[in-house]
Amino acid sequence: MAIVPAFTDLTRPYWENARAGRLVTQRCDACGRSWHPPLPVCPHCHSTDLGWQEVSGSGTVYSYTVVRHATHAALADQIPYVIAIVELAEGPRLVTGITGCAPEEVRVGMPVRVYFRPVADGITLPYFEPV
Amino acid sequence: MIRRQVAIVGIGQTDYAKALPGTAWDLAIEAVTKALADAGIDPADVDGMCRFAPPFEPVSEPMLVRALGIRELSFFAESPLGGEALGAVIAHGAAAIMAGLARVVVVYRALSQSKGGRFGRADRGGPSGPAVADPAADIVVPEEDNRSFAWPYGLMSPGQLFALWARRYAGLYGLSDDDLTQALGSIAITQRRYANANPAAMMRDRKLDWETYRQARMISEPLRLFDLCLENDGACAYVITSADVARSLRDDPVYVLSATQTLSPYREPMGIYVSGELTELFPPATAERLFDEAGVTRADIDVAEFYDATSFMPLRSLESYGFVPDGQAWRYVVDQGTGPDSPLPVNTHGGHLSEAYLHGMNGVLEGVRQLRGTACNQVADAAVALVGAPAGSAVILAR
């Protein structure tokens, strides 16, 4: 059992890029600004001329929590795990997970870098690990 | 402006317990009936209803209208976003009364976490979620409110979200783990002491000392077991009417001075992508609106009931609502505290941490009791009370 995102017309490009090893954010082709999660319209200029841009995959830990109590049966064997908000170098923030270090070593402000973790058939999630 | 044009004239609540025999429907009927009896109003005369929107509130308006023998509702409204309905339901009820759409508005909230799902368990998506058909199947998370970008990482319960807030706060203001523990523990232990003097509180007989608090298991760091609210069955209700009708019913109506709801970008329920500072849970202008429309200042507030799904929320609410400067409440709650002799007693019923979890409604009822002078932990001469949720939905009440 895995917990996987629904693919919609709006979100499919994000997850298909992740499966191909690219981290992307939605971008307005009219005004050039970028954000996450995706929207049907640019929140700045209301253009519907939207695309996706690959980002560097570098960021810092904006906040995190070490989960030691499973709230769902699907997560029981992952305890403890780290949920983080990562602020990308390009600005937008993502909810993600941190691996590659002990949970106790995660800190707010810690530099991290994206990697791609297959979690189910056809589903790859962007995760982060310390630089 | 609402300022004293409407009042709360009746309050009612059921027992609070981990499991009660009744359904949420039974509990809602009991709480509403008690609130109407307290107000001296015949249920047949109710013509307005405000409730928390589904999926949070499981008891529909038609279920109550038929059960209570209400002749006709001319106004009914629902407020979304869970606990952030706290002030909104009062704002809606007040607006309806002031516009002549209704004369007597009932507000209710019923919870049966023992029979439905629990907020602390994501398996069913909360208390009103459907039963899981195939526990072994993959869970496909809908895009709605950005959940599809959060749940796959195991961010599925409110407690985890508030842990992210608390950790960000600690990182932003340079708190050590021990600083944060001291601050959160001060709130949890103070509220437990209030609950120990409140016969309605689930934790009335359970003491909480520092050693027990510190040694409790971590749920989602930095939040421990005692930093998270109770999960329980129960219901609360209250009755709002115009000031004129209120005065004809009782000598001690509790007037509504102001009520706020607020929504700005990136505030979806797991709204943590906000481009500004995460710990700014609502625009500062909202708090100014709450006080300006009430015509009172922070110094006029005698008691505050802050929505506390976790201990971090009253801490941050002291700052968000302007009682303590940003980044200083952690020190304030250790130095001054929130107890009976502090500058601002907070969650005098024990709050969600130690009385019961009723989505902020029990905080409103406690505010009413404080202003009637009938609270278990009565604040001397309480004249003005603030009841507020962490993201800006609030009410100021006065006797």
- Domain enclosing residue B47, as ranges: 6-115+230-398
In a domain, A5, yes or no: no
B213 is known as an active-site residue = no
Q: Which of A7, A42, A67, A79 to mutate to test the interface with B (most CBs of B within 10 A)?
A: A67
In a domain, B272, yes or no: yes
pLDDT range class, residue B189, cuts 50, 70, 90: very high
pLDDT range class, residue B140, cuts 50, 70, 90: confident
pLDDT range class, residue B147, cuts 50, 70, 90: confident
For position A131, what pLDDT does the model report? Answer: 96
Residue B126 has pLDDT above 70, yes or no: no
Q: Which of B153, B218, B227 to mutate to test the interface with A (most CBs of A within 10 A)?
A: B153
Q: How far is A131 from chain B (nearest CA, A)?
A: 20
Residue B135 has pLDDT above 70, yes or no: no
In a domain, A4, yes or no: no
Establish, for the pair of chains A and B, how many residue pairs have beta carbons separated by less than 8 Å. Answer: 143
Residue B54 has pLDDT above 90, yes or no: no
User: What's the mean per-residue pLDDT of chain B?
Assistant: 94
In a domain, B47, yes or no: yes
d(CA A53, CA A35): 10
Tokens representing residue A82 in the block: 């780290």
In a domain, A20, yes or no: yes
Q: How many domains is chain A built from?
A: 1
Residue with tokens 């009062």: B90
Q: How far is A51 from chain B (nearest CA, A)?
A: 18
pLDDT range class, residue B72, cuts 50, 70, 90: very high
Q: Provide the CA B167 distance to its chain's centre, in angstroms.
A: 22
Residue of A nearest to B134 (CA): A1
For position A73, what pLDDT does the model report? Answer: 83
In a domain, A100, yes or no: yes
Nearest CA to B390 out of B360, B361, B369 is that of B360
Tens-place pLDDT, residues A62-108: 999 999 998 888 888 999 999 999 999 999 999 999 999 999 999 99
Residue of B nearest to A11 (CA): B143
Residue B85 has pLDDT above 80, yes or no: yes
**Which residues have CB under 8 Å from B212's CB, separation 6+?**
B226
Q: Which of B108, B321, B332, B357 is catalytic?
A: B357
d(CA B352, CA B379): 19
In a domain, B253, yes or no: yes
In a domain, B64, yes or no: yes
Tokens representing residue A39 in the block: 């929207």
In a domain, B345, yes or no: yes
Tens-place pLDDT, residues A12-48: 999 999 999 999 999 999 999 999 999 999 999 999 9
- Domain enclosing residue A62, as ranges: 12-130
In a domain, A1, yes or no: no
Residue of A nearest to B275 (CA): A92
Q: Which of B16, B255, B307, B332 is catalytic?
A: B307
Q: Which CATH number characterizes residue B374's domain?
A: 3.40.47.10
In a domain, A3, yes or no: no
* Residue ranges of chain A whose CB lies within 8 Å of a chain B CB: 1-6, 8, 10-11, 35-37, 43, 62-69, 71-75, 78, 81, 83, 85, 91-97, 103, 107-109, 119-120, 123, 125
Strand order across the beta sheet in which B6-13 lies = B75-79, B48-52, B104-112, B233-242, B6-13, B254-260, B394-398, B384-388, B303-306
3-state SS, one letter per residue, for chain B: CCCCCEEEEEEEECCCECCCCCCHHHHHHHHHHHHHHHHCCCHHHCCEEEEECCCCCCCCHHHHHHHHCCCCCCEEEEECCHHHHHHHHHHHHHHHHHCCCCCEEEEEEEEECCCCCCCCCCCCCCCCCCCCCCCCCCEEECCHHHHHHCHHHCCCCHHHHHHHHHHHHHHHHCCCHHHHHHHHHHHHHHHHHHHHCCCCCCCCCCCCCHHHHHHCCEEECCEEHHHECCCCEEEEEEEEEEHHHHHHHCCCCEEEEEEECCCCCCCCCCCCCCCCCCCCCCCHHHHHHHHHHHCCCHHHCCEEEECCCECHHHHHHHHHCCCCCCCCHHHHHHHCCCCCCCCCCECCCCHHHHCCCCCCHHHHHHHHHHHHCCCCCCCCCCCEEEEECCCCCEEEEEC
B357 is known as an active-site residue = yes
For position B271, what pLDDT does the model report? Answer: 58
Contact B391, B264 (CB under 8 A): no
Report CB contact under 8 Å: B138, A83.
Answer: no
For position B218, what pLDDT does the model report? Answer: 97
Q: How many domains is chain B built from?
A: 1
In a domain, A80, yes or no: yes
